[in-house]
Structure 1
Amino acid sequence: MTDSKTMPSSDSYKGWLYKWTNYIKGYQKRWFVLQNGLLSYYRNQAEMAHTCRGTINLANAFIHTEDSCSFVISNGGTQTYHLKASSEVERQKWVTALELAKAKAIRMMESGISEDGDYVVFNFYKEKTDSEEDEDLISQPDKDELQNTLRTLGAKLEDLNTCNDLIVKHGAALQKSLSELEQLDNSTDTATRIKSVNERATLFRITSSAMINACSDFLDLAQTQGKRWQRLLQHEHEQRVRLEDMVEQIAKQQQNLEKQARKSLAAANLHSKIDTNDTEPKVEGSEEEEDDFFDALDIQHTEYQVALPHKPSMHKGLRRVGSDVSQISLDSLGAGYQRQDYDSSESDAEGDNEARVIATARKQSKTKMGQPGTPVRTRRANSLRKRRSAILERPNHTLNLWGIMKNCIGRDLSKIPMPVNFSEPLSMLQRLTEEFEYSEILDTAAACEDSCEQLAYVAAFTISAYATTSFRTGKPFNPLLGETYECDRRDDYGWRVISEQVSHHPPTAAMYAEGRDWALWQEFTMSSKFRGKYLAITPLGIAHLRFNKSGNHYTWRKVTTTVHNIIVGKLWVDNHGEMDIVNHTNGDLCHLKYSQYSYFSRETPRKVTGVVADRNGQTNWVLTGMWDEKIEGAKVLSCTTSSKGKPVFESGPSKVLWKKNPIPPGNEKMYNFTQLAVELNEMEPGVAPTDSRLRPDQRSMENQDWDGANKEKLKLEEKQRLARKRREAEAEQAASEGREYVPYEPAWFKKTKDQQTGNLIHMYTHEYWEAKEKQDWGRCLDIYL
């Protein structure tokens, strides 16, 4: 349907596509234009001169292909385009053009350069000369040109290798012929041998000439491109220096503004709080307190959007208007779903005062699994061991933040050598285990007979995993390759978990958890970028959940997490994006939307909305709430048609599917840990020698020895680096010797094809707990010092 008949060669592309508009009109034909990293659409080509119907910036967009002709473009926030091409070939052309445009837009955004080569940000601080503009125009890297140059150089190098092999071959044959010629006495044979020598000498001369020509071409090409690459490198270096200066200047300006704001606040409070008997009253909010501002204001609104998937039979918006029985109306523009006010002031101080049963369990004893829906306090009281309730308080260490961060802009988080000052004394494997704090939701879901109700509880469980992220800003330790973590909580929570770091680049963790009536496994890897003021973390792995009784198998991907105010201000975390939870057994689907915070948005911060639909697209449940408080669900009872021809749904009363546990007192001094987090790093006998509890740097940090922790961390990283180089050297040696090299393999997980998604995934081998009973740790690596 597009005008172009060839594959796109740049980020400029245009043509017809079908765009999903609403659930009444379905897909509509629209004219799309891709230019300068922006995708815009119009009703027809004539509208390009005066009316643009919508535009999405590809720099921050995600592009997903769904079937042979459909694909989705989303910026993780308010804009999502569900598009369909006329054929698979057209779809692939568009996806290729969009990926090229996205890569170029990201590159220009990171370097601060617009399409025409001018500085977008820096022109506010420095005027550029004509020579500098010409230099920028010359220095702009073109991806296709660089790729072609590299391919040409690679081809020339292959020619050189081929010529070298031929020279060696013909040289050996020529030498052999000369030796045979010297040993001949018969004149007849001598003439024949001389002819053979001449032929071989001719072949050797031709091959040598070809190699000389190839060397000359390679040298000319390298010299031609060398100066250009030097200018490109110099340009990138200058861009980075200017970016560092700009970010540092902005950080200083923001700090000065905050100080001025504190002074203004102090002056305002001075008039209302000054005591006539005091000559020097204490002023709250003064500079000595060094309080930081929380940029994300907790603004409450009465309505918020319910995001729905692209299937035509699923509903665009719902509005709750009743109490016991609710009317829910459809609006093609997206109606709001009225929520009840949540009382987050409830606390349960009695939980920390209740007595626990203190008993010593034998190491090989078999414990009874926890009952579904058992309250947290009761479960812990029934535990077979007394667990710690606190750790040492976090010391107040100062750090030159800017000196470390200025060299990290634009880099992957996993490749930044961060000191422990930014961390919390838990590894990423332990942080993944925290997701099972509200495992009673899965126990309740396992007992559900209705698959849609079960899916609603599963959705609530996935949301509960983000409950602690609103106030937990510490970075967990990056696990070492081969590091493991086990957590057996069958005596109180009813589950046990085993995790292992199965890959170092990219960093990937595999986890397997088993409860009484369910099993959950996932492969966690992520893409993270530091952008100066915020850090964006995008999980890439897929989580699986299977219930033993019903046999229902669910999968989902996690949403994006963004940490704000990295340089200046108080850190705060936002989770945003869309999540689809799919039941592969019967086709049920739950679509969740995590609303992204924005200064200019009327959306309630930390809001989550969603719907649960069956395989036919019929909505059965609606979900509303906040990912740091609680989630409620309401069952859809019936569907009627309004006077305007729009469907109206009736829902029953809502019920709480999940609610956050009270925060332990004094947790702000203990890295904002929950009670479960405090218990995760507690030493236990009989664990594997690669267990996270045994990490010397993590243990030193928990014991308040931060200087020692930083030293241990450097030693562990150097040891891991040497091990990686050793494996690379072994692989090169095996290749040179023509033998097969066996790469690194995890101890407790094996890479295999996922039956549900078709992707390769590390699956648990079900051998760890048996090895623990025998204390057979022969397969574990020596990763600690």
Structure 2
Amino acid sequence: MSDSKHGQSDQYKGWVYKWTNYIKGYQKRWFVLQNGLLSYYRNQAEMSHTCRGTINLANAFIHTEDSCSFVISNGGTQTFHLKASSEVERQRWVTALELAKNKAINLLESDDEDEETHTQPDKNELQNTIRTLSAKLEDLSTCNDLITKHGAALQKALGELEQIEAASEASAKFKSVNERATLFRITSNAMINACHDYLELAQTQGKRWQKLLQSEHEQKLRLEEMVEQLAKQHQSIEKQARKSLAHANHSSSGNTQGAEGSEDEEDDFFDAVDDHTEEFKVCLPPQTHKRTGSGISVDSIGETLGPTADNYDSSDTDSESRGAEAKVISHKHGHKRTHSRDQMLKEGGSSSMPSTPNSLTKVAHPGSKRQRRMLIPERPNYSINLWSIMKNCIGKELSKIPMPVNFSEPLSFLQRITEDFEYSECLMKAAQCTDSCEQLAYIAAFTISSYANTTARTGKPFNPLLGETFECDRRDDMGWRSFAEQVSHHPPILAMHTESKDRDWSSWQEFTMSSKFRGKYLQIIPLGIAHLLFPKTGNHYTWRKVTTTVHNIIVGKLWVDNHGEMDITNHHNGDNCHLKYSAYSYFARETPRKVTGVITDASGQARWVLQGTWDERVEAAKVIKTVESGKGKIVYETAEAKVMWQRRYPSKELEKCYFFTELAVQLNEIEEGVAPTDSRNRPDQRMMEEGRWDEANEKKVLLEEKQRTVRREREREASDAAANEAEYQGYEPKWFRKDIDPVTGNPAYVYTGEYWDCKEKGDWSRCPDIYL
């Protein structure tokens, strides 16, 4: 039985059963909740030396499973499955956890507000303070003059009184002395009051100015360190560039003198009579591997290959490609040729790239029943120093950076995630495939296509308010509709559900992320899992997104890179697609934005290979034969490659409209009948789209303050519930519900299926009032 008990007012501790593994099941552990952190130990004696695990409740969510069980997760990297001894004990823990979470969130936001106040004081406030101090100083000077004057008069009167001998004259002089003494006393009191006011104001402002001075000093040191680091990196890059240039010149000279003796197979090129082939590198996962206790995949000789799909750390962007190198031979036209993938891309080029008609003179999709807008107001030319805002945010989460709309785009994250389905034709083709591996090739192309629009899109989407929603019904022209809701604020999580018009496929996902600003770049590491289901075959696919990095935050032109490794798994039959997004490097010989991949069946046999770039096109070829070369490389003989996805470039007019695509332009178009919480009804976002940025910034501050006020009210309710030992549920989403994902086993938000029915009825009674 749990021995939970209260310690201090902010502490709760006791025995709880924690799920360990399938062999040992639930094991009794000693849990301590304090200062917003939940830690556990094997026993109480371990509290002095060994902590087994800790979760920060400020970025976690709490889910109750049954009368005794509950789950605590921080978004994917840590999850505690716990069981109390009774329903009453479970409720006590949940109430204590919710209360501690609210306090931790409040403390974080208070610290952020204090830091923003200390580091970015209001100019008018400083001027008013200086004026007040100057006025107080003038009062002191006036009082000093009066005291000197009245003191001299009093001293003179007292001297005259001492010289009087007759009693009759002394009576008159006493009256004069009393009058002058009264004036001196009044002036002295005024002086004392003025001194007190000045001292109090000076002490109050002095403490604040001391913090400001300390903050400015620390910022100066950080900036000096950053500039020094940049200088060292610049020097290192120059050295590498010189070495690379010298090596390139030497290689060019060597190839000219002895091209026939070259041993670099990537640059080999020869003709033969029998066949026409093309050769390139792809990254392969190992065909046989085992998993360690930490979830790391290791091959038979013990070489670490990288995180598995179940325990994927997308921040490991510098890891080498997993598994062996492979080469692919594709048959074309009865001839044979071998060359590198880079050469093939150069030769293939973009000759088959479809031209984009003028967006001003056409409807977005010919099959649409409605005329949709093709442009939005151009982005105003507002100049603002990004570094002046970002310098105080180094190390913070992206969602906690107080960013004005000047660095945003007039779309929310709910709308931005909907853009993943711009190339939904890949899913339609996948639904028609009878071969599951070919279907997986189209799905891989679909996942890659979601990054195509990031090449020039450096604006940050609006962080959705808690309870904000977005619907997108494109059944009439694109064959699908989607719905998304911001279901959690700490940590920020949005849930989305999409379904095709003919119910051939459905997709759902949670999007949450870990993000840090590192000074030179901003890195976004997605943590959520995406699902895709084809009901007719039962094929159920999952994957995680790769890391996105925004470079040149300090100086230079912003640019975006997507990099990392992705595994797409078919949980129905064991098929898997391993993709590698190569990180961009100034000195790499690989094609920029390159993506390579291989599709294997449940036995590990390669079935398809993929190649391309995430900003242009993806090709796939079916593997016919596998051969091992003499240098330890694997050569795949394939059928002719076919294009699985190709990017549609937006028109030139949209370059001035935040580099939006046609779909992005239409996402924020005003539409009647949507929920009052829909992103299209958000006033600051609408003002920004219309070019009223000053008003948008003011409205954004008011909306965020309203959200904080509502959160404080929930915190008060949680405190009252804890004081009365009553049950407190906390915030619950309106269109999604917490449940356990049967595939991952982690808590997840599941769509209730009620939104579109409520829209048809016009019933928005459950929608919260989140806008002004």
Structure 1 Cα separation of the partners of residues 539 and 586 of structure 2: 41
Paired residue secondary structure (1:679): helix
1:558 aligned to which of 524, 535, 545: 545
**Residue type of the alignment partner of 1:653:** E
Tell me what 1:247 maps to. Answer: 226
Unaligned runs of 5+ in 2: 1-19, 24-48, 54-212, 235-265, 269-278, 290-321
Measured at CA, do residues 248 and 712 of structure 1 come closer, stay the same or move farther in structure 2, by a change above 3 Å?
farther
Q: Is the 8 A contact 1:595 1:606 kept in 2?
A: yes
Tell me what 1:504 maps to. Answer: 489
Measured at CA, do residues 647 and 716 of structure 1 come closer, stay the same or move farther in structure 2, by a change above 3 Å?
closer
1:62-461 aligned within 5 A:
241-247=220-226, 305-312=281-288, 316-324=324-332, 339-341=344-346, 342-344=348-350, 346-350=353-357, 352=359, 355-356=362-363, 380-461=365-446
Structure 2 Cα separation of the partners of residues 253 and 710 of structure 1: 38
**Residue type of the alignment partner of 1:382:** G
- Say yes or no: does 1:729 pair with 2:749: no
TM-score if structure 2 supplies the norm length? 0.60
Measured at CA, do residues 670 and 772 of structure 1 come closer, stay the same or move farther in structure 2, by a change above 3 Å?
same
Shift of 1:350: 3.2
Unaligned runs of 5+ in 1: 1-64, 69-95, 101-233, 256-299, 330-334, 357-376
Structure 2 Cα separation of the partners of residues 762 and 740 of structure 1: 22
Shift of 1:318: 2.0
1:471 aligned to which of 437, 442, 456: 456
Shift of 1:406: 1.0
- Say yes or no: does 1:534 pair with 2:513: no
Q: Is the 8 A contact 1:339 1:624 kept in 2?
A: no
**Residue type of the alignment partner of 2:406:** N
Q: Is the 8 A contact 2:325 2:633 kept in 1?
A: no
Shift of 1:499: 0.1
1:571-720 aligned within 5 A:
571-640=558-627, 648-720=635-707
Shift of 1:349: 3.8
Measured at CA, do residues 400 and 737 of structure 1 come closer, stay the same or move farther in structure 2, by a change above 3 Å?
same
Measured at CA, do residues 725 and 570 of structure 1 come closer, stay the same or move farther in structure 2, by a change above 3 Å?
same
Shift of 1:505: 1.0
**Residue type of the alignment partner of 1:309:** P
Q: Is the 8 A contact 1:590 1:610 kept in 2?
A: yes
Q: Once the two structures are superposed, what CA deviation does each residue of 1:649-673 show, in whole Å capped at 9, x if it has no partner? A: 3100100000000222221100000
Paired residue secondary structure (1:340): helix
**Residue type of the alignment partner of 1:638:** K
Q: Is the 8 A contact 1:320 1:328 kept in 2?
A: no
**Residue type of the alignment partner of 2:404:** P
Structure 2 Cα separation of the partners of residues 418 and 555 of structure 1: 33
Shift of 1:243: 1.2
Measured at CA, do residues 525 and 325 of structure 1 come closer, stay the same or move farther in structure 2, by a change above 3 Å?
farther
Structure 1 Cα separation of the partners of residues 233 and 407 of structure 2: 22
Structure 1 Cα separation of the partners of residues 721 and 336 of structure 2: 66
Measured at CA, do residues 432 and 327 of structure 1 come closer, stay the same or move farther in structure 2, by a change above 3 Å?
farther
Shift of 1:724: 0.9
Structure 2 Cα separation of the partners of residues 389 and 336 of structure 1: 37
Q: Once the two structures are superposed, what CA deviation does each residue of 1:66-106 show, in whole Å capped at 9, x if it has no partner? A: 999xxxxxxxxxxxxxxxxxxxxxxxxxxx99x99xxxxxx
Structure 2 Cα separation of the partners of residues 486 and 549 of structure 1: 26
Shift of 1:251: 7.8
**Residue type of the alignment partner of 1:770:** D
Shift of 1:245: 3.2
Report % sequence identity: 59
Q: Once the two structures are superposed, what CA deviation does each residue of 1:123-142 show, in whole Å capped at 9, x if it has no partner? A: xxxxxxxxxxxxxxxxxxxx
How many aligned positions are there? 493
Shift of 1:648: 4.0
Q: Which has the higher contact order (CA 8 A, sep 6+)?
A: 2
Structure 2 Cα separation of the partners of residues 639 and 626 of structure 1: 25
Structure 1 Cα separation of the partners of residues 377 and 520 of structure 2: 31
Structure 1 Cα separation of the partners of residues 612 and 633 of structure 2: 26
TM-score if structure 1 supplies the norm length? 0.59
Structure 2 Cα separation of the partners of residues 735 and 456 of structure 1: 53
Structure 2 Cα separation of the partners of residues 737 and 401 of structure 1: 48
**Residue type of the alignment partner of 1:598:** S
1:519 aligned to which of 506, 511, 528: 506
Paired residue secondary structure (2:387): helix
Structure 2 Cα separation of the partners of residues 344 and 769 of structure 1: 41
